């Protein structure tokens, strides 16, 4: 790519290189494995055809795969627009796409104590004129299940108190960081059990997160309202069983955590 198309800066611990006509930014410790994955292929194509892939559904399929010569598994997704204009804009973004912002946001959230999967690499491809396409790879969280999936599982609901406590802690951490998540739905809250058996919640899809004043009560309220709206939609569709009292309890816990 020409120099004027390049992302202005690369965070410490990351490196930039070119592969198959794409500009790639990757963790220095995994750059070699990412380069091998992209030998004659896009990052997403590598994941989509990997024999050990595990498909994840969301805004288009994502794939959990091991990196070449590495025990680490990553989740690779192809960036796509959502919303009303998605059928028109599809997977094309104005350069440099949201990927650089997602990396910067991920690092800022992590440094502020907000759990989010580590971003391992992104690749940006030309898509005609000022447009680009992008793939993003994040570290897979072993055993992770999103909140919507857990609430739809009768057995998992037996530990609803633990699930909601972890979710409330995540909401509290977002509030303390002043992080606004405009798409905080039940599919973007990932939960996994730690070594001690306790749940830990991670926030996903942080490419549109913005930051305001830390500990802003308005940010805390709006984040919770977005998540609660998502949970009510799931309840209305019959996917999850969730009472008003349980939803209220989550709101109370989130407020206390913030």
* Residues in a beta bridge with 65: 74
Predicted confidence (pLDDT) per residue in 72-125, tens digit: 999 999 999 876 766 777 899 999 999 999 999 999 999 999 999 999 999 999
Identify whether the C-beta of residue 74 lies closer than 8 Å to the C-beta of residue 139: yes
Predicted TM-score (pTM) of the model is 0.92
Task: Dig out the tokens for 131 from the structure.
Answer: 């447009």
Predicted confidence (pLDDT) per residue in 222-233, tens digit: 999 999 999 999
Predicted confidence (pLDDT) per residue in 150-164, tens digit: 999 888 888 889 999
Q: Is the pLDDT of residue 134 over 60?
A: yes
Identify whether the C-beta of residue 187 lies closer than 8 Å to the C-beta of residue 239: no
24 or 156, which is more confident: 24
**How crowded is the C-beta side of 93, counted as CA atoms within 13 Å?**
20
DSSP 190: E
Location of structure tokens 């599919």: 187
pLDDT at residue 59, rounded to an integer: 66
Print burial letters for 107-130: b (CB count within 10 Å at least 16), e (below 16).
Answer: bbbeeeebbbbbbbbbbbbebeee
- Return d(Cα 120, Cα 214) in angstroms, integer: 27
């Amino acid at each position: 790519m020409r120099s004027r198309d390049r992302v202005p800066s690369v965070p410490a611990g990351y490196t930039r290189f070119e592969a198959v006509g794409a500009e790639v930014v990757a963790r220095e410790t995994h750059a070699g494995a990412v380069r091998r994955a992209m030998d004659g292929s896009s990052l997403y194509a590598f994941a989509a055809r990997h024999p050990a892939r595990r498909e994840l559904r969301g805004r288009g399929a994502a794939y959990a795969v091991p990196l070449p010569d590495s025990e680490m598994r990553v989740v690779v997704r192809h960036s796509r627009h959502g919303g009303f204009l998605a059928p028109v804009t599809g997977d094309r973004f104005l350069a440099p796409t949201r990927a650089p912002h997602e990396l910067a946001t991920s690092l800022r959230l992590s440094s502020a104590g907000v759990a989010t999967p580590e971003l391992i690499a992104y690749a940006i491809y030309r898509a005609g004129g000022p447009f680009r396409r992008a793939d993003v790879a994040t570290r897979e969280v072993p055993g992770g299940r999103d909140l919507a999936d857990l609430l739809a599982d009768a057995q998992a609901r037996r530990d609803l108190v633990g699930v909601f406590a972890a979710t409330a802690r995540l909401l509290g951490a977002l509030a303390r960081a002043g992080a606004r998540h405009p798409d905080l739905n039940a599919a973007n809250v990932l939960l996994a059990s730690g070594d001690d058996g306790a749940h830990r919640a991670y926030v996903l899809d942080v490419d549109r997160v913005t930051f305001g004043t830390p500990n802003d009560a308005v940010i805390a309220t709006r984040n919770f309202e977005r998540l609660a709206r998502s949970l009510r939609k799931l309840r209305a569709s019959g996917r999850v069983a969730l009472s008003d009292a349980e939803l209220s309890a989550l709101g109370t816990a989130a407020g206390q955590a913030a």
